[in-house]
């Protein structure tokens, strides 16, 4: 008796073609090379703009320098140019811009952590506001205004 291969155990980690048929079914062929998203049969459908989706060299030639607002501003300016040239999708551009926003918002906290300001470290903090001194002889209790009850049924 011969054993049949179980076809349900397909390795889903292999890169497959991204072509979708009109019925919604996807092509199951392997991609032609690592820089492409399509198999040999559908490679002609890939536009030249899709062939080059890695913009890391143009956007951030030196990733380590995202520690100043100037460098993040340069990144955003380059991102705006790529969006205007329609080389990056608006969704991808929005995600990158949001990430830059998060980086910009954390810069003051990082600066304070790395270079604490000594004159603000010894600022006294008042935990409790002192109340009136009722034990004084000349203390007069302030008159209280009656509260208006808009609903006479409630007491």
Give dist(CA 155, CA 146) in Å, integer: 14
- Buried (b) or exposed (e) across 52-64, using 16+ Cβ within 10 A? eeeeeeebbeeee
Give dist(CA 28, CA 51) in Å, integer: 20
Provide the whole-model pTM. 0.45
Q: Domain spans of the chain? A: 13-50, 54-117
The one-digit pLDDT tens for each residue of the chain (155 residues) are 565 555 555 555 668 888 888 898 988 888 877 667 788 888 777 665 554 566 777 777 766 677 888 888 888 998 998 888 887 888 989 999 999 999 999 988 888 888 877 766 665 666 777 777 778 888 888 787 777 766 666 55
């Amino acid at each position: 008796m011969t054993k049949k291969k179980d076809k349900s155990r397909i390795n889903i980690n292999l890169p497959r073609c991204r072509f979708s048929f009109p019925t919604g079914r996807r092509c199951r062929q392997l991609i032609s090379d690592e820089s492409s998203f399509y198999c040999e049969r559908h490679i002609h459908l890939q536009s030249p703009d899709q062939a080059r989706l890695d913009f890391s060299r143009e956007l951030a030639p030196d990733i380590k320098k995202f520690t100043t607002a100037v460098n993040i501003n340069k990144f955003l300016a380059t991102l705006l140019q790529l969006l205007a040239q329609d080389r990056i999708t608006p969704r991808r551009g929005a995600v990158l811009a949001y990430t830059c926003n998060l980086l910009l918002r954390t810069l003051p906290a990082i600066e304070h952590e790395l270079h604490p300001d000594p004159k603000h470290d010894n600022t006294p903090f008042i935990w409790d506001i002192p109340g009136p001194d009722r034990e004084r002889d000349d203390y007069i209790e302030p008159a209280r205004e009656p509260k208006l009850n808009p609903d006479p049924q409630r007491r």
